[in-house]
Amino acid sequence: MKKLINKPEDVVKEELEGMALAFPELIKVHFEPNYIYRADAPVKGKVALISGGGSGHEPMHGGFVGMGMLDAACPGEVFTSPTPDQMLEAAKTVNSGAGILYIVKNYTGDVMNFEMAADMARAEGIQVANIIIDDDVAVKDSLYTAGRRGVGTTVLAEKICGAAAEKGYDLKQVAELCRKVNINGRSMGMALTSCTVPAAGKPTFDLAEDEMEIGIGIHGEPGRTRMKLKSADEITEMLALSIIEDEAYTRTVREWDLEREEWVDVEMTDPPFEAGDKVLAFVNSMGGTPLIELFIIYRKLYEICEKKGLTIVRNLIGPYITSLEMQGVSITLLKMDEEMVELWDAPVKTPSMRWGV
C-alpha cells in the first residue's frame, strides 16, 4: 500500500483536522462523535439538512457543508457507515426548531444507523424526516436485493434541497423535493482499477491490466460484469444507455410519516426518461480519473443525449463522489424541471461547491 497517510487508524481524524484548518469561516468540526457542521449553525428558521456515510468518498459529504447545501455531515470510518450518536449530536447542534432532513444513501448499514438516529432525535423532541437515495441502475432487482444503491444523485439532491431549505421550504416540502430528485435521477459507474482501504492495506478486488468492472458501487463492491477494456466512447455509451433506457423502477422504502408520526412503507416509481426531457448531466470521477478523461466522456454523453432527444440544461463535471483513488467514472442523469433548475443555480458556498456568491 502506497498512500500519503500517517497511520491507517488516524486517517479520518487527521482529514477532519485538516478540513477544519482549511475552511474555518465555513465549517466547524466536532470530534467524538465526529461531525462537520456549518460555522453559523443553527440557521434561524431554516430546515437543517444532514447527510453522512462512510469516509473515502470525498468531497462528499463534508465538502458540501455550508450555505445553500448541508448543515452537517457525519463521516464514518472509511467505507463504513457512521453511528447514530454522530447523527443525533449533529442534529442537536444544527437544529433551529424547523426540523431536520436526513439524506441517506441506500446501503443497509447507512439506512439502519440513520433510522436509529432519527428515533433517538425524535425522543429528544426534534422533528426528523429521512429520505433514501437509491439511484444506481446497475442493481436491477429490488425484490431480491437490498435495492438500488445511493450514488451520484445524492450530490445533486444535497445541492437542490439545500437551496430549497435556504429559500424557506418547510420540512415536509424539502422532504418531498428530495424524493422528487431521487426518483428522477439515475446513475451508473465503472472502474478501471480497484482501491485500497487504508485499514485493509490491499486492493479490494483484482482487475487485470486489460479489464474493467461495469456497474460498481462506490465502495469497491464488485459490479454487474467484468469485461475487456473498451474505448471511452464505448464505455460512455454503455453507461448512458443503461441509464436512459432503464424502465420504470418500483420499490418500497421505509420513511417516517410526519403527520402520522410513525414509520411507513412507501411505494415509489422512477419514471423512465423520455425524448424532450431536460436533464442535468453529471460526469463524476471515482477519484483517480483526471478531468481530461471526464471531458472525453462528457463529449460523448452530450452526443448520446442529443440523439435520444434529451437536452442537457446543466452539468457537473469532476470528482464529487469518489472511491478513494479508484480510477473510473460514473454518470448521473437527473430530469430537471424549472423549480429544480432555479434551485440548482441558487448560491452555494461550501468547501467543494461554490457559486453565485
Ligand X SMILES: Nc1ncnc2c1ncn2[C@@H]1O[C@H](COP(=O)(O)OP(=O)(O)O)[C@@H](O)[C@H]1O
Q: Which residues bind ligand X (CB under 6 A)?
A: 108-109
What minimum distance in Å lies between the beta carbon of 295 and another protein? 30
Sign (positive/negative) of CA torsion 334, 339, 341, 345? negative
Provide the grid cell at 168.
424557506
Whether 174 contacts 165, CB under 8 Å? yes
Residue type, 24: P
Residue type, 124: E
Pick one of another protein, ligand X, none as the site partner of residue 129 (Cβ within 5 to 8 A by kind).
none
**Bridge partners (DSSP) listed for residue 256:** 263
Tell me phi and psi for residue 42, to 5 degrees. -80, 145
**Strand order across the 48-55 sheet:** 27-30, 35-38, 72-78, 48-55, 100-105, 128-133
What minimum distance in Å lies between the beta carbon of 195 and ligand X? 16
What minimum distance in Å lies between the beta carbon of 206 and another protein? 12
CA 17 to chain centre: 23
Whether 46 contacts 95, CB under 8 Å? no
Grid look-up 460484469 returns 225
Identified catalytic residue from 38, 46, 57, 148: 57
Closest to 115 (Cα-Cα) out of 77, 150, 84: 84
What minimum distance in Å lies between the beta carbon of 143 and ligand X? 15
User: With respect to ligand X, which residue has the nearer C-beta, 139 or 279?
Assistant: 139
Pick one of another protein, ligand X, none as the site partner of residue 220 (Cβ within 5 to 8 A by kind).
another protein
Q: Is 113 left (phi over 0), alpha (psi -120 to 50) or beta?
A: alpha
User: With respect to another protein, which residue has the nearer C-beta, 33 or 272?
Assistant: 33
Closest to 161 (Cα-Cα) out of 185, 142, 138, 139: 185
Would you list the DSSP string of 222-286? --SEEEE---HHHHHHHHHHHHHT---EEEEEEEEETTTTEEEEEEEEEPPP-TT-EEEEEEEE-
What minimum distance in Å lies between the beta carbon of 109 and ligand X? 3
What minimum distance in Å lies between the beta carbon of 58 and another protein? 17
User: With respect to another protein, which residue has the nearer C-beta, 283 or 321?
Assistant: 321
What minimum distance in Å lies between the beta carbon of 224 and another protein? 9
Pick one of ligand X, another protein, none as the site partner of residue 139 (Cβ within 5 to 8 A by kind).
another protein
> Is position 30 annotated as part of the catalytic site?
no
The beta strands (E) that lie in the chain are given as 27-30, 35-38, 48-55, 72-78, 100-105, 128-133, 185-191, 211-214, 225-228, 249-257, 262-270, 278-285, 311-318, 328-335, 348-349, 354-355
Pick one of another protein, ligand X, none as the site partner of residue 197 (Cβ within 5 to 8 A by kind).
another protein
Pick one of ligand X, another protein, none as the site partner of residue 46 (Cβ within 5 to 8 A by kind).
none
User: With respect to another protein, which residue has the nearer C-beta, 284 or 323?
Assistant: 323
Residues of this chain that interact with another protein (CB under 8 A) are 33, 54, 76-77, 79-85, 107-109, 112-113, 115-116, 139, 141, 144-146, 149, 197, 199-200, 204, 217, 219-222
> Is position 61 annotated as part of the catalytic site?
no
User: With respect to another protein, which residue has the nearer C-beta, 200 or 313?
Assistant: 200
Pick one of ligand X, another protein, none as the site partner of residue 200 (Cβ within 5 to 8 A by kind).
another protein
Pick one of ligand X, another protein, none as the site partner of residue 85 (Cβ within 5 to 8 A by kind).
another protein
Identified catalytic residue from 219, 251, 300, 335: 219
Contact partners, residue 29, CB within 8 Å, separation at least 6: 16, 17, 19, 20, 35, 36, 37
User: With respect to ligand X, which residue has the nearer C-beta, 141 or 209?
Assistant: 141
User: With respect to ligand X, which residue has the nearer C-beta, 82 or 223?
Assistant: 82
Query: Known catalytic residues?
Result: 57, 219
